Chain A
């Protein structure tokens, strides 16, 4: 198999994630979307690493996974705090930055 199927898979996963981020009202849903987008990037990295025979891509992937885990933990903590304060996690109600 060549590089292309991996890239297509990656693009599909990225688009699903992006769709989730842009359309979900629930903040947790948005976080899930972000996770998907990150994993699409990971697929890209691994695919290119195998294709070019350079190990750096693999190493980066490990880093990215670590960061994704922390990001998910932080994000969920923020969401929980947000719920305690505002009694809602719906993104369209959280518009304190409205100009």
Chain B
């Protein structure tokens, strides 16, 4: 193959498209399930290989490669091109997307193994479409292609959240995610069009050079950047648009790992990173970005502390970390946000896949049903703890460097308020993640859980414990089991049914864990991965920053250990100490209620008014008119005698009238 990063990136982009088209068109292949899955995985693997090669070439190349074809021709020139813009940022994003996509597709083979074959094939068609769209977003040379791919990933998110569309909760969550992100997208589209009016181009490179030479008029630019930020808010789940992300956990866990942790939700951050030179011209919008980001980080971290559903904890943690990235961009150091995007993509995918492995084994999402899993699933526990330490920002682990960079950047930008919020969040993050670790992997297995396994095994003699994996069956079975635990406690089976997942699931976990560790070790020991990853200027962070950030994280871990492992602090009294906050957090700070209120009162009220107008005014006028017509017809029907001769008289009279008219008038 020609060693051209543009061609390679194009290949990486189009391979999933090929897979999607084949799966979509070749109906028998899709219905077969497994072969469709392996075909899609093959394409994803090839895409990953080309992405890595493109990155290797581009990371040492001097100039970005701009490989485009004209699109939307208009009056001799083209309004927009379609193609790829290959530079260091886009290729590394390409690597992340293709890697996580490949691993998640591989993992899903094991995770969804008892899905019916047609649904399985459909899942892989969606997965391929998502990989194609997300890579197109990463490589987009102009805002129009970016927006198109942006909507496509939104569509894939909708389709995959609603993968179990028979479940009302999943269908509802899919619609919620779609609408809320759409609300932001409208703002984004407005921003893009206004920017086109201002600059006369959609092309990112041209816009960049315009911005660099101060050729862009500053008047009105704030509105444009704010509109773009609205889109990013919706996609990246910033307050108050974060409400869709926790609900999106209704989708299969691998989907959550890919779309709602590693890639799609970071599209908003990526957009801001791609256009940071534009945002740099509007410091007031950047200030909003920073404050909203920091506030989102804190809000989501508090919410994560009270969740019992392991996936929801991770979902709020994702929202919180997205807040981190946004704050870094708001502080004007987009490179730090981008670095955190990459490391977060790795370790959050790892955490989600680890959680999926736990759910796969236990058959429930709820932490109280877990416990003591470390002995039964040592490998899963190990990789999950690696992910948790990365998220907590412990040195030698993946998230350490990027978190320090962000904190340093925010401090360097003199944003003391967001900085304090982020420090608090760092402690909370460590606390809630280790709460999950201690509750799920240590301590004693809960009796409910044991009955759960027993019943699951009982219910399906052939498969053993993991016969009811995630999905409707698990949910239904779980509630059934609950009742049964009360009714017949004697049915308890002590055999440890929870066990390690199959190799297709373990392999992605270990790849991600080792990747996270490699990034962490190299960055901590200053092996220069940070310099390889991005060409950011070294932030002059104060010397006390690193110890205090790590100290806060360790304090959070210690608190979690004291509360949930050593039981020196009673969890109930800790909860009581934070009584009002806790009860508010349990109600999700009423944000969902506010949305529902807006929907219920304002929107439905408006619809009622419109409905009344339609029913009584519009319909009324039409009914009156139609009544008149009918009456007139009734009156006039007497003319029609049905006798042929009468019609002849009519024709004769008509001819006479015409002749008279010709004579008299013309």
A residues whose Cβ falls under 8 Å from a Cβ of B: 18, 21-23, 30, 91-92, 94-99
Q: Does B642 contact A (CB under 8 A)?
A: yes
A92-B645 Cα distance, complex, nearest whole Å: 8
Q: Report the nearest A residue to B634, measured CB to CB.
A: A99
Q: Does B641 contact A (CB under 8 A)?
A: yes
Q: Does B638 contact A (CB under 8 A)?
A: yes
Q: Does B63 contact A (CB under 8 A)?
A: no
Kindly list 14 other residue pairs between chains A and B, CB separation below 8 angstroms, not including A22-B645, A96-B642: A18-B652, A21-B645, A21-B648, A30-B645, A92-B643, A94-B642, A94-B643, A94-B644, A95-B641, A95-B643, A98-B640, A98-B641, A99-B637, A99-B642
Determine if A95 and B642 form an interchain contact, defined as CB atoms under 8 angstroms apart: yes
Q: Does B639 contact A (CB under 8 A)?
A: yes
Q: Does B649 contact A (CB under 8 A)?
A: yes
CB distance from B642 to the nearest CB of A (A): 3
By Cβ-Cβ distance, the 10 closest A-B pairs, closest first, are A95-B642, A99-B637, A98-B642, A99-B640, A97-B642, A91-B644, A22-B645, A95-B643, A22-B648, A21-B648
Interface string of B367-378 (1 = CB under 8 A from A): 000000000000
A98-B641 Cα distance, complex, nearest whole Å: 5
CB distance from B272 to the nearest CB of A (A): 72
CB distance from B518 to the nearest CB of A (A): 90
A21-B284 Cα distance, complex, nearest whole Å: 91
Interface string of B629-666 (1 = CB under 8 A from A): 00000001111111111001100100000000000000
Determine if A97 and B640 form an interchain contact, defined as CB atoms under 8 angstroms apart: yes
Residues in chain B near residue A23, CB distance under 8 A: 645
B638, B644, B645: which contacts A99 (Cβ < 8 A)?
A: B638
A97-B645 Cα distance, complex, nearest whole Å: 13
Inter-chain residue pair count (beta carbon < 8 A): 35
Residues in chain A near residue B637, CB distance under 8 A: 99
A29-B465 Cα distance, complex, nearest whole Å: 95
CB distance from A21 to the nearest CB of B (A): 6
Residues in chain A near residue B640, CB distance under 8 A: 97-99
Sample (30) of A-B pairs whose CB atoms are under 8 Å apart: A18-B648, A21-B645, A21-B648, A22-B645, A22-B648, A23-B645, A30-B644, A30-B645, A91-B643, A91-B644, A91-B645, A92-B643, A92-B645, A94-B642, A94-B643, A95-B641, A95-B642, A95-B643, A96-B642, A97-B640, A97-B642, A98-B640, A98-B642, A98-B643, A99-B637, A99-B638, A99-B639, A99-B640, A99-B641, A99-B642
CB distance from A24 to the nearest CB of B (A): 8
CB distance from A34 to the nearest CB of B (A): 10
Residues in chain A near residue B649, CB distance under 8 A: 22
A94-B644 Cα distance, complex, nearest whole Å: 8
A88-B666 Cα distance, complex, nearest whole Å: 47
A24-B643 Cα distance, complex, nearest whole Å: 12
Residues in chain B near residue A95, CB distance under 8 A: 641-643
| A22, A97, A99: residue with the most chain B Cβ atoms closer than 10 Å | A99
Residues in chain B near residue A92, CB distance under 8 A: 643, 645
CB distance from A40 to the nearest CB of B (A): 15
Residues in chain B near residue A97, CB distance under 8 A: 640, 642
CB distance from B306 to the nearest CB of A (A): 76
A22-B653 Cα distance, complex, nearest whole Å: 13
Chain B residues 596-649 with CB under 8 Å of chain A are: 636-645, 648-649
Residues in chain B near residue A94, CB distance under 8 A: 642-644
CB distance from B655 to the nearest CB of A (A): 11
A88-B636 Cα distance, complex, nearest whole Å: 29
Interface string of B100-130 (1 = CB under 8 A from A): 0000000000000000000000000000000
CB distance from B42 to the nearest CB of A (A): 71
Q: Report the nearest B residue to A92, measured CB to CB.
A: B643
Residues in chain A near residue B636, CB distance under 8 A: 99
Q: Report the nearest A residue to B636, measured CB to CB.
A: A99
CB distance from A26 to the nearest CB of B (A): 11
| A23, A30, A97: residue with the most chain B Cβ atoms closer than 10 Å | A97
A23-B652 Cα distance, complex, nearest whole Å: 14
Q: Report the nearest A residue to B641, measured CB to CB.
A: A98
Q: Report the nearest A residue to B647, measured CB to CB.
A: A97
A60-B604 Cα distance, complex, nearest whole Å: 72
A30-B643 Cα distance, complex, nearest whole Å: 12
Residues in chain A near residue B648, CB distance under 8 A: 18, 21-22
Residues in chain A near residue B645, CB distance under 8 A: 21-23, 30, 91-92
Q: Report the nearest A residue to B644, measured CB to CB.
A: A91
A99-B632 Cα distance, complex, nearest whole Å: 13
A56-B638 Cα distance, complex, nearest whole Å: 45
Q: Report the nearest A residue to B640, measured CB to CB.
A: A99
Residues in chain B near residue A22, CB distance under 8 A: 645, 648-649
CB distance from A31 to the nearest CB of B (A): 11
Residues in chain A near residue B639, CB distance under 8 A: 99
Residues in chain A near residue B642, CB distance under 8 A: 94-99
A95-B644 Cα distance, complex, nearest whole Å: 8
A94-B647 Cα distance, complex, nearest whole Å: 13
CB distance from A41 to the nearest CB of B (A): 14
Q: Report the nearest B residue to A27, measured CB to CB.
A: B644
Q: Report the nearest B residue to A98, measured CB to CB.
A: B642
CB distance from B578 to the nearest CB of A (A): 83
A91-B649 Cα distance, complex, nearest whole Å: 14
Residues in chain B near residue A30, CB distance under 8 A: 644-645
